[in-house]
């Protein structure tokens, strides 16, 4: 699967995408991540990507032209979707990540400053938000979508059953059961006896009871 990310701050992704599961998934060639600097598609010598809003108001607005040119430069795969990361979008959930994991390509457009020129919405398939709060830009939402989607790809996790048991995996409101590991006794807080019993039926029943449904 290929992720194409459009941003004006490409270096933000350097560390995150070179660690842990995302790094391993790239090494296994399960995913490919391409970062596109929107400034490379600005037409003036100062590489201007934003301007003051028509009608006045605070902040600066990302221009439509460099984003459009950047989108046009990206080679599309067969099953490809373009995502605009915006507070106006549909809330990103595990069910959405599952849909995206079946694609060949996700193109993610990161906003910044006061927002986008409204006309860019014409060139996207989905508009996505990761929650009801304000962030500086769309880079963190882009990382979240890449992470959540990558985890669902076959071979991305060490244990093939991990995605089946995780929070939100069985249903949207499912919260996974508690986990324990060594030591068995920490400051008088002991691991539940059932987990030490070796009785897998009892352990399964306990885990089901301890799972929460929001």
- Is residue 136 predicted with pLDDT exceeding 60? yes
Residue 214 pLDDT > 80, yes or no?
no
Give this prediction's pTM. 0.85
User: pLDDT band for position 165 (50/70/90)?
Assistant: low
Kindly report the CATH number that applies to the domain delimited by 2-150: 3.40.1280.10
- Could you read off the pLDDT of 69-128 as tens digits, one per residue? 999 999 999 999 999 999 989 999 999 999 999 999 999 999 888 889 999 999 999 999
Instruction: Summarize pLDDT for 141-151 with one digit per residue, the tens.
Output: 999 999 999 99
* pLDDT 10s digits, 34-62: 999 999 999 999 999 999 999 998 899 99
Residue boundaries of the structural domains of the chain:
2-150, 162-213
C-alpha–C-alpha distance, residues 105 and 1, integer Å? 6
179 CB-near residues (< 8 Å, 6+ apart): none
State how far the Cα of 27 lies from the Cα of 206, in Å rounded to an integer.
38
Q: Which fold has domain 162-213?
A: 1.10.1270
Please, what is the average pLDDT of the chain? 92
Q: Within its chain, how far is the Cα of 145 from the centroid?
A: 1
Query: 46 in the Ramachandran plot: left (φ > 0), alpha (ψ -120 to 50) or beta?
Result: alpha
Of residues 129 and 214, the one with the higher pLDDT is 129
- List, in order, residues 6 or more apart from 109 with CB less than 8 Å away: 6, 67, 71, 82, 83, 84, 85, 116, 120, 124, 138
């Amino acid at each position: 699967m290929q992720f194409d990310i459009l941003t004006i701050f490409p270096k933000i992704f350097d560390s995150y995408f070179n660690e842990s599961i995302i790094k391993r998934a790239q090494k296994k060639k399960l995913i490919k991540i391409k970062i596109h600097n929107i400034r490379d598609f600005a037409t003036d010598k100062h590489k201007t990507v934003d301007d003051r809003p028509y009608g006045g108001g605070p902040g600066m607005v990302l221009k439509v032209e460099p984003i459009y040119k950047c989108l046009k430069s990206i080679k599309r795969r067969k099953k490809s979707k373009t995502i605009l990361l915006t507070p106006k979008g549909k809330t990103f959930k595990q069910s959405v990540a599952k849909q995206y994991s079946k694609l060949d390509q996700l193109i993610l457009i990161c906003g910044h400053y006061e927002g986008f020129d409204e006309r860019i919405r014409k060139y996207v398939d989905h508009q996505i938000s990761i929650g009801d709060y304000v962030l500086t830009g769309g880079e963190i939402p882009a990382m979240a979508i890449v992470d959540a989607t990558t985890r669902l790809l076959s071979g991305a996790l060490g244990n093939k059953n991990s995605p089946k048991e995780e929070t939100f995996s069985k249903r949207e409101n499912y919260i996974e059961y508690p986990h324990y590991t060594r030591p068995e006794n920490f400051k008088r807080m002991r691991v539940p006896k059932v987990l030490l019993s070796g009785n897998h039926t009892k352990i399964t029943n306990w885990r089901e009871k301890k799972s929460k449904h929001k």
